[in-house]
């Protein structure tokens, strides 16, 4: 069975600080996909990134960066120079190819608060 663990329930940082959100996953599949979603107070889940299990390159998109390490089954997310608009709940998710229609397993989420 697949599992996603986000050990950090809540994080608060002062604006402009860097912050890293941790994600550890478990799967028996060799081909799988990892995702990060952001959920602001409005409720919508906003897709941030998808990474497949064969691509371990780190990715940077503006102030966001992701560190994927298969050796430790981790897919961590770093926000550089945080802003108040980054305040939200962030979910890491895993999907395996054998489930067909992208059945996502979500972590429990990390609530990030950026203090002005």
Chain positions contacting another protein, by CB under 8 A: 33, 35, 37, 42-47, 50, 52, 91, 95, 97, 100-104, 106-109
Q: Evaluate whether 34 touches 51 at the Cβ level (below 8 Å).
A: yes
CA-nearest of 59, 76, 91, 87 to 20 is 76
Closer to another protein by Cβ: residue 18 or 56: 56
Closest separation in Å from C-beta 73 to another protein: 18
Closer to another protein by Cβ: residue 18 or 47: 47
Residue with tokens 């997310």: 77
Closest separation in Å from C-beta 24 to another protein: 15
Radius of gyration of the chain, Cα coordinates, nearest whole angstrom: 14
Closer to another protein by Cβ: residue 25 or 91: 91
């Amino acid at each position: 069975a697949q599992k996603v663990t986000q050990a950090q329930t809540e994080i608060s940082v002062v604006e402009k600080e860097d912050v890293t959100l941790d994600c550890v996953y478990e799967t028996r599949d060799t081909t799988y996909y990892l995702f990060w979603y952001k959920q602001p107070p409005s409720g919508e889940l906003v897709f941030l990134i998808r990474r497949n299990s064969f691509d371990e390159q780190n990715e940077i998109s503006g102030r966001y960066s992701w560190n994927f390490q298969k050796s430790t089954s981790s897919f961590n997310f770093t926000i550089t120079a945080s802003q108040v608009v980054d305040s939200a709940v962030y979910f890491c998710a895993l999907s395996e190819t054998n489930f067909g229609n992208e059945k996502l397993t979500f972590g429990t989420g990390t609530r990030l608060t950026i203090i002005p």
